Structure 1
Amino acid sequence: MDNSFARTMWRVLEPLHAITYFSPECVAANKAVGLRGFWMGYFATRSAPFGAAGPNLVEATFYNFHPAMIRRAIPDAWTFATPEAVLETRRTAAASVLRSITPDIETVAATTLPTLHAAIESAAAPGRALFAANRDLPTPADPVEALWQAATTLREHRGDGHVACLLAEGIDGCEAHVLFAAHSGTPADWWQANRGWTESDWAAAQSRLRSRDLISDTGLTDAGRDLRAHIESRTDALAMTAYESVPAIADALAVLTPAAKAVARSGAVPYPNPMGADPA
């Protein structure tokens, strides 16, 4: 397997994981446990493996959100629901949605979990805070909850590596979105609304990227395209470290792919989305 396998794996794991943010049932479960609004639910559910995380930790590990957006939700979230309650809610609601979308998901879980757990155990944790925090969680007894947790853990493994690549190349959170918007042709206001960056933040990031000859008025420059390709390639290489010593991982991918496609077809995860993932 070459490093492109890691990207294929991400495209399959991402929709299985992302139902926790977008599925109406999961959003309603977050509100029922006490969390106020969509974004408090997002920040609390994703950071709950850290315990009652403060805003600085969430800003550092989530990387691409405006700090003020985070501070509207964290640490207030923990006055409405404990991290333990949030962790239970996120896995039970996600498993319920997966069961409703994919009738054979328990068979999928039974078939793939040993391999996914082998990948999780083979991956190094240093420098990967969200991955390590998720890996430290007890494995749920329910197989579909365990499948969702495994997909989430491996997803965060890749995400931690991506953040490291952005940081190494001197690309901050807002600049990462400016680059992606220039690459994809998506409108700036869509990214600003989803990540909390103001027009002045966006303009300043554009200015910094222009000064490095990474973007122009018409989109990415050659240097910008080269940098994006380098970051994505390095992200794939770092993510591949979880899979390269797991012989059965290609078989697991084949079993997981129909479930991911079912999620994509269901509309439980919208496309396009701010994660940059396409339908599996």
Structure 2
Amino acid sequence: MTTETTPVTGADATGGEHRARRLWRALEPLHAVTYFAPEARAAGESLGLRGFFRGYFGQRAAPLGPVPAEVVTALFYNFAPGFVRRSVPGVWSVAAPAQLLDARLAAVDAALRRSLGELVGSAEVAEAAELAREAATSASTAGRALAAANAALPWPAAPHLVLWQAQTILREQRGDGHVAALVGAGIDPVEALVVFAGAQGLPGDWLRERRGWTVEEWEAARARLAGRGLVQPGSGSGEVADTVLTATGRELCAGIEDRTDELADEAWRALGDARADRLVELVGPLVERILAAGDFLRQNPMGMRPLVPVPSS
């Protein structure tokens, strides 16, 4: 779950949102092309993977090797187990992880070359890549399996791909820490989505369907959360009611987000505020191109809002 308006501790030097959250928002669209650019979908289909989620699970889990569904479910956290099993381990019989990694990198290369145009070989991209790589290699992967798996991959040569790989490591490192914060707060996978929907004001049906949970599983999670005083029943026109957080629920969400930011800040402490700010400055024009190309979902299940405004059309 992600709450952009929640007060945070450890705010950056500007006195605004936490430094780690600001950097995530600045850089995440560089990774999002992995799933949402047309080249990414075509890459999966070229290997025989039909449908968005078979390509998504295959390409995101490929750094782990041919792991079973239970491992993917555990690490991705908020997907329903049955939903994961529709793709894993079947994807490995269609395309080996090494094939998927090659296809992923080729698709990202093509997507970034298309969206960035003449900027792809610029000095600014090379400088951003150097800073992002330093941040990524400064972030601990202890206890963070997805980050560690991506950090173990060889670095590509082209600066725009170095920048993409660095952000891939950083966002998976952040995500691994977020899962740890959820587990520490006693929030299970489907409960995390229910409270997230309430924090973001997202339709429950929209989020539930994209993570594969049934109406019964969703409503059972809501009942558990209501029993803990974290949510109130709402009213909605879909199959599940909208979620309304209580004051206690909002406090819990704020604490989880604060902890997520704290756990993700190691890389940015190592880089320092001045160079982190320089990285934000450098990637701004790149992200503008990616957003203009439509390679990022305006409404996304992470509730992620880029630092650069998303074009209205």
Task: State the TM bucket, normalised to the shorter chain.
Answer: over 0.9
Separation in 1, partners of 2:306, 2:266: 24
For 2:64, the equivalent position in structure 1 comes to 50
How large is the RMSD of aligned CA atoms in angstroms?
Answer: 1.3
For 2:290, the equivalent position in structure 1 comes to 263
Deviates more, 1:87-96 or 1:197-206: 87-96
Deviations 1:94-122 (A, max 9, x none): 12111211120332431112211211221
Structure with a larger share of its residues in helix: 1
Superposition pairs of residues 142-181 of structure 1, within 5 angstroms: 142-181=158-197
Q: Secondary structure at the match of 1:139?
A: coil
Q: Secondary structure at the match of 1:174?
A: helix
State which of 54, 68, 83 in structure 2 corresponds to 1:69: 83
Give 5+ residue unaligned stretches, structure 2.
Answer: 1-11, 235-243, 308-313
CA contact (8 A) 2:67 2:89 kept: yes
State which of 148, 151, 157 in structure 2 corresponds to 1:141: 157
Which one-letter code corresponds to 1:22 in the other structure? Answer: F
Separation in 2, partners of 1:174, 1:188: 11
What TM-score, normalized by structure 2, do the two folds share? 0.86
For 2:136, the equivalent position in structure 1 comes to 120
For 1:221, the equivalent position in structure 2 comes to 246
Please report how far the alpha carbon of residue 217 of structure 1 lies from its aligned counterpart in structure 2 after TM superposition: 2.0
Deviations 1:251-280 (A, max 9, x none): 112101221232223221121011211233
Q: Secondary structure at the match of 1:149?
A: helix
Q: Secondary structure at the match of 2:55?
A: helix
Please report how far the alpha carbon of residue 187 of structure 1 lies from its aligned counterpart in structure 2 after TM superposition: 1.1
Separation in 1, partners of 2:125, 2:56: 25
For 1:106, the equivalent position in structure 2 comes to 121
Separation in 2, partners of 1:178, 1:70: 19
Separation in 1, partners of 2:196, 2:104: 29
Give 5+ residue unaligned stretches, structure 1.
Answer: none
Which one-letter code corresponds to 2:169 in the other structure? Answer: T
Q: Are 2:216 and 1:189 aligned? A: no
Please report how far the alpha carbon of residue 37 of structure 1 lies from its aligned counterpart in structure 2 after TM superposition: 1.7
State which of 2, 6, 12 in structure 1 corresponds to 2:26: 12
For 1:252, the equivalent position in structure 2 comes to 279
State which of 258, 278, 293 in structure 2 corresponds to 1:233: 258
Please report how far the alpha carbon of residue 157 of structure 1 lies from its aligned counterpart in structure 2 after TM superposition: 0.8
State which of 87, 99, 105 in structure 2 corresponds to 1:85: 99
Separation in 2, partners of 1:29, 1:174: 30
**How high is the sequence identity, in percent, across the aligned residues?**
44
State which of 30, 35, 46 in structure 1 corresponds to 2:44: 30
